Chain A
Amino acid sequence: MTTPRFDLTGIPIVKKVLVSRWLQWSLTAITLPFFVLAILAGLFGTPAGNRNFGIVFVWIVWWAVLILLLVPFAGRLWCTMCPLPAPGEWLQRRALVQPRSAARLYTLGLKWPRRLRGIWLQNASFLLVALFSAVILTTPAVSALVLLLFVLIAVGTSLIFERRTFCRYLCPVGGFIGLYAQVAPVEIRVKNYDICVAHKEKTCYVGSNAGYGCPWLVFPAALDKNTYCGMCTECLKTCPMDNIGLFARPFAADLMAPKGRLDEAYKAFIMLTCAFIYSLVLLGPWASLKEAAYAVGSASWWLYAVGFLTANLIVTPGLFWLCTAAARRLGRAGQAARQAFIEHSYALIPLGLAAWAAFSLGFVFINLSYAWQVMSDPFGWGWNLFGSANWAWTPYLSGLVPLLQAIILLLGLAGAVSVVLHTARVHGVAYASTAPIIGFCAACTLVMMWLYM
């Protein structure tokens, strides 16, 4: 069955914008001053997180926009405008807008080691950041240094390795954006596969006078999910056959396609578990848990760290393994246990995205009013640029948030069930045999609801 889709590049103005060489630079130029201000405020502003632009705009405003809007509705659009890899990429290209031939790039151009390909390193980098997140998310200086570290790693990677190796294999944020971008109702894909096959030059991958070869190391004709497409639109610029477009499509269309990578499965486990742990630590009433997460290096923190990693890497995957094993037994499926485990894990993608959205709703609207304060006084230096520095903290929609969280979690569960049943149908096993997996998803939803209600 072919997924219905609508070619947005059929709209002339959309096409014109997407093929413009100014697009990515312009978007980055919009996000860059916010990023610069966040770094400066983090390093030189008040250590009080709720009065520091760096904390409020990065971890409340940006995060809300990312997880509630950009990822669910626009996939990897953030990666197009992300300022983190921009300096490295500009340095590598020695150009901001104009294309430059591969031979003149300022990089050693090494290929990323084959053994390190995949998103295992992104899983590890995310876990590392998540482990220290209680400190990173609340301490402006630490937050700024971590962001600067990302920029430095991205610059170093760009100078040594080809294209956007950092984004593709290392970025802790890019890893989960890619995973959840599969849910988004947009995609960049080829229009006609046969035209690509016949096109010998493969300018979309190697580049041309019109643009760079895919910075994300993806051959567009082989693209079957959003995970690794950074939506930079270089391929739309370099395709001489006008055979690549931006399409609108149903939500979660990628999850109905064949899949099966253990690193992506683990990303799904990690994200789901982290949403749960974040809810416990950052929003829950358990002060001792919060203190343990903050007290980096203390005995209680080590205990927390062991628990955190065990939950992410063993407990959640282990429980899910048991559920898929039970489902196999019930369905008498011939599918290998490992493959069933991996394939069904993709059901956790809508579930995890919903969990993150619900978790984010829990603090975003409560804390959003800090944004008006830090806009007027980004450093906490006593400025009042727009007259809003002393506006009182005001929680928004506090009565509505639990209802919204419940709706989102149920939508996530519906998406998960849909993926589970689709996978069962593909393998020709009875729907009833998927009960343990659906039970797992329902239990996760109920636990999250219990936490928020």
Chain B
Amino acid sequence: MRRELFALSVLFLLLVVFPLSLFGYQAWRTHAAGVRVIELTASAPDKGDWQPKDLRVQVSEKVRLRIKATDVIHGFVAPGLGLAVDEIAPGHVAEIEFVATQPGRYVFACSRWCSVDHWRMRGVIEVIDPTNPAPVPMSPSTPPLYQQLNIDLDAPHLAAAIPTTRPSAARGDALDIALPSDLHNASSLRRLAPADVFQRLRADPTYGALSDAELWDMVALAWLRVTLDGSLQRGRQLYGRDCAACHGQMGKGDGPAGRNLPGLAAMQAGAKSGPADFTDAGRMLGASDVLLQGKILRGGMGSGMPEWGSLYGETDMQDVIAYIRSFLFDLGPVN
């Protein structure tokens, strides 16, 4: 009988105490962390998406996100909170801590091309001020510039003139001719399409001696002058992370994820247009930076392009647009 009791006790340890200790250890880990631990699971959108998709934290609360990937490699980015995890492999757990200082609704997203629906893999971290727990609206108080200027993002914007060779800012600079003073102003220049700038310079007798190619070099120079240091490099990183899968590494609109876009079929049956070709001079040189910013911010265009307004800040937008311009303009080396 004593032998049976001993055997039974061991069995009790194995079948009851052992499993309980496993779950107890996990609970202890969470409790002993000394911070609020939030478990976040990342799966491709058709296999579960972010779980949960909506997180609620408080201002000044120390939070640890414990992010698990279940199926393929995912990334995590919440630009508004300055959070990023570049890679979360399936079965691995990434942890990131933060303290939100401002109430608001901060979008987080997957930053790895995880599936065809990758772009829809978004969630929201709502930061609540405990002294004023009313939800903070998502949309900013001031409308974006394209709306203020009443720009129709979906209207055709073909350039009246296009260059025959790739415009070079360096060649423009070598001409040693000053640009009109207002074109040195970034906010002025970004409201103009490059083709409009070309037409304006063409009409200006100051530049009458220049050939069309030289004028286009001046246009490229104008864009280089308003491009901040490091902007092209940052833009390239963002482009590689968020745009290249559809628009292609070289901006030709031939990225593998851009084929058979689910949104394209749903919104525009029979449409032939896929992701925009950033090397298409006719379209790109007829678009101002403000117009391009509006498209990036809003998304749509009947191509299934996601909106980036909730993820990108003003600088991010300008960086990406500067890099997109570099597909047509030689703005110098991008390292």
A→B interface (CB under 8 Å): 21-22, 25, 29, 32-33, 36-37, 40, 46-52, 95-98, 377-383
Q: Report the stretch among B85-93, B111-119, B208-216, B234-242 that lies at the interface.
A: B85-93
Does the CB pair B68–A37 fall under 8 Å? no
Q: Report the stretch among B10-18, B147-155, B265-273, B298-306 that lies at the interface.
A: B10-18
Which chain B residues in 1-44 approach chain A with CB under 8 Å?
Answer: 1, 3-4, 7-8, 10-11, 14-15, 18-19, 22, 25-26, 29
Does the CB pair B19–A36 fall under 8 Å? yes
* A-B CB pair tally, cutoff 8 Å: 69
Our pick among A32, A47, A95 for the contact of B4 (Cβ within 8 Å) is: A95
Does the CB pair B7–A97 fall under 8 Å? yes
In the complex formed, the residue of B with least CB distance to A385 is B25
List A contacts of B68 (CB < 8 A): 46, 380-382
Does the CB pair B93–A382 fall under 8 Å? yes
Q: Is the interface of B mostly helix, strand, loop or mixed?
A: helix
- In the assembled complex, how far is the CB of residue B49 from the closest CB belonging to chain A, in whole angstroms? 14
Give how many B residues have a beta carbon under 8 Å from the other chain's beta carbons.
25
Does the CB pair B3–A51 fall under 8 Å? no
For residue B245, CB closer than 8 A to chain A, the reply is no
Q: How far is the CA of A357 from the CA of B296 in the complex (A)?
A: 56
The 10 closest A-B pairs by CB, nearest first: A51-B91, A382-B93, A48-B91, A48-B90, A96-B7, A380-B91, A46-B91, A47-B70, A97-B7, A32-B14
Does the CB pair A46–B11 fall under 8 Å? no
Does the CB pair A36–B91 fall under 8 Å? no
Q: Is the interface of A mostly helix, strand, loop or mixed?
A: loop
- In the assembled complex, how far is the CB of residue A388 from the closest CB belonging to chain B, in whole angstroms? 14
Does the CB pair B93–A98 fall under 8 Å? no
Our pick among A32, A40, A49, A50 for the contact of B22 (Cβ within 8 Å) is: A40
For residue B97, CB closer than 8 A to chain A, the reply is no
Our pick among B14, B26, B66 for the contact of A29 (Cβ within 8 Å) is: B14
Q: How far is the CA of A378 from the CA of B22 in the complex (A)?
A: 10
List B contacts of A51 (CB < 8 A): 90-92
For residue B69, CB closer than 8 A to chain A, the reply is yes
Does the CB pair A98–B70 fall under 8 Å? no
Does the CB pair A97–B90 fall under 8 Å? no
In the complex formed, the residue of A with least CB distance to B66 is A382
In the complex formed, the residue of A with least CB distance to B48 is A47
Q: Say whether, besides A48-B70, A97-B7, A380 and B93 are in contact (CB < 8 Å).
A: yes
For residue B95, CB closer than 8 A to chain A, the reply is yes
Does the CB pair A98–B4 fall under 8 Å? yes
List B contacts of A97 (CB < 8 A): 3-4, 7
Q: How far is the CA of A37 from the CA of B21 in the complex (A)?
A: 11
Instruction: List 18 extra interface pairs beyond A50-B90, A379-B26, A381-B93, CB under 8 A.
Output: A29-B11, A32-B11, A33-B18, A36-B14, A37-B22, A46-B90, A48-B69, A48-B70, A95-B4, A98-B1, A98-B3, A380-B68, A380-B91, A382-B68, A382-B93, A382-B95, A383-B25, A383-B26
